[in-house]
Structure 1
Amino acid sequence: MLSNTVLASPGAAALAPSAPSAGQFSTIDNPPSVWPDFMVGQRGRPVRVLLVDDDAHLRHVIAQELMADARTLLVAQAGSVREGRRAIRLHEFDVLLVDLHLGDGVGFELLADLKRLRPGAQAVMISVVENDDQVLRAFEQGAVGYVCKNSWFGNYTQAVLQVANGGAAITPHLARRLLQRFDRPHAGEAKRRQPDEVERLSAREKEILRMVATGYTSAEIGARLLISGMTVNTHIRNIYRKLQVRTRAQAVRFASLRGLF
């Protein structure tokens, strides 16, 4: 149950929420969020999404969320691996939201089709659980995001916008677990085996890679470092070349294995 808000006297600057009791939520009136013109996902040019999930109810929930935001457009839905493959062939889209467990297979099967047929599109895996091994497998096969179905509403749209703008969609809690998984003995062993790859990265490249690992987009990194997004992308390409990887997720995993974070 949401607590009530009380209108302040004339001329007051804000609404004052009443104190919530235990177990309740309070409402906070924030100003509208700002979405810069240079970001991908604008009115008239939304991020196009293909949704594949065998749960009809959840598919409806996600579809409503995506269509309620002017920055995203749901172009097609599918409920199986077979239908997903057909949809990938037939529709133009920017981001694939795909369930891990489908009735006739697993979402991993569609990542290969995506890479072959729509190499410019990004993939976000969705699942009922955040299993570390499954997350790593998804990233290794080209996904750039992993969203738990039990996440708070609004996460699907944010995940789509994040990956469409060059970022990675992953919860801070899961990111922390994955980094801890490669900590200490594994990171030490990796550094002993190949000590020079990370050393070839410049100080600026290491700084940008750390920011990529925390989920910042190229535009956000550029704003923080006072450089252009194009310069950030040039650094990222150099990081890929030096580390011999192809995706942001692979670069982050490589650096975490070698103790860069």
Structure 2
Amino acid sequence: MNTTTDWLGSRELGGIASTMATEATTWPPFLRGQPDHPVRVVMIDDDPHMCRVIAQELLADARIDLVAQANSLREGRHMVARYDFDVMLVDLNLGDGTGFELIEYMKSAHPVAEAVVVSAMEDEEHAIHAFELGATGYLVKGSWFGNFAQAVLHVVNGGATVTPNLARRLLRRLGAHGEGALGAGAASRHAPSAERLSEREREILRLVASGHTSCEIGRDLSISAQTVNTHIKNIYRKLQVRTRAQAATRASQFGLLS
């Protein structure tokens, strides 16, 4: 029996595909993820069953292009270095390492790309650590959260995606103990450096906040994508952030986009 169908049920899978097709045709044109310019995704997971489930959902959506897959930390690092992509889906347990290591590596190689954890571990500490490293999503295997295509589109358009049950526990923890309860790393963060962004960095930050990729920014400014990524790393350092969404929010708070 097909394991993907066994896990979802043939009727449910058919319903998901039909829903995705409808959503793709009604997707607002100002959002990233259009059939003629799909969101590029890479996936690293050592669970063949989950890989099939996730791949089938992504491939059914015209707004998404599943660029490559890997099943280990080593293969994942090679893949991240080789391909251009917008979103990385990554498991935390990879046999030869952890997804945390891959998130850190990805944020260095592709600072404007988004990372979404797909894990069997549903505890707050793992989620908090992933967010501190720069992830913008945490999905628990076997839990309801919509579908993987929706999750990808949420994060690439500046949002976040968290399995509902886990999100509620994180909110309770925040409400009960205050913002510092979200981890020692979060509590120890200092205010952004007083060091101001250069005019070039402001220019790049405005384009990043508008959803442009490094390649697109490079073409607009007549510089290489590698140079763009170097500027973005400097922006992250100066603003003390780890993700594109955080940088845009922090810059807006300090009037750096004007």
TM bucket, shorter chain: 0.5 to 0.7
Q: Which residue of 2 aligns with 1:233?
A: none
Specify which of 96, 116, 122 is matched with residue 88 of structure 2.
96
CA contact (8 A) 2:145 2:164 kept: no
- 1:140 paired with 2:122, answer no
1:143 to 1:189, Cα distance in 2 relative to 1, 3 A: closer
Matched, 1:105 2:97: yes
What SS does the aligned partner of 1:48 have?
strand
- What is the CA deviation profile of residues 29-69 of structure 1, one whole-angstrom value per residue up to 9, with x for unaligned ones? 98943211111111121100000000112112211111110
- Answer whether contact 1:140 1:250 (CA < 8 A) is retained: no
Partner residue of 1:163 out of 149, 155, 158: 155
Residues 36 and 103 of structure 1, relative CA distance in 2, 3 Å threshold: same
| Contact 1:52 1:97 (8 Å CA) reproduced | yes
| Aligned match of 1:75 | 67
- State the percentage of identical aligned residues: 53
**How many angstroms apart in 1 are the aligned matches of 2:240 and 2:135?**
18
Does the CA contact (< 8 Å) of 2:45 and 2:71 recur in 1? yes
Check whether the contact 2:143–2:163 (CA below 8 A) recurs between aligned residues.
no
Q: Does 1:86 align with 2:68?
A: no
Deviation at residue 129 of structure 1 after TM alignment = 2.8
Deviation at 1:173, TM superposition (A): 2.7
Number of paired residues?
183
* Secondary structure of 2:57's aligned partner: helix
Larger mean CA deviation between 101-110 and 168-177 belongs to: 168-177
Pairing of 1:84-233 with structure 2 (within 5 A):
84-152=76-144, 155-187=147-179
The DSSP-based 3-state class of the residue aligned with 2:161 is coil
Higher helix residue share? 2
Which has the higher Rg, Structure 1 or Structure 2? 1
CA shift at 1:103, angstroms?
1.2
CA distance in 1, matches of 2:65, 2:37: 9
Aligned-residue Cα RMSD (Å) equals 3.6
SS of aligned partner of 1:63: helix
Aligned to 1:40: 32
Contact 1:47 1:94 in 2 (8 A): yes
User: What are structure 2's unaligned runs of at least 5 residues?
Assistant: 1-11, 192-209, 212-235, 250-258
1:69-112 CA distance string (max 9 Å, x none)? 00111000000000000000111110000001111111001011
Instruction: Note if contact 1:144-1:249 (Cα within 8 Å) is conserved in structure 2.
Output: no
Q: Distance in 1 between matches of 2:108 and 2:118?
A: 21
Alignment of 1:11-26 (within 5 A): none
Report the Cα offset of residue 174 of structure 1: 1.9
Q: Give the SS at the match of 1:183.
A: helix
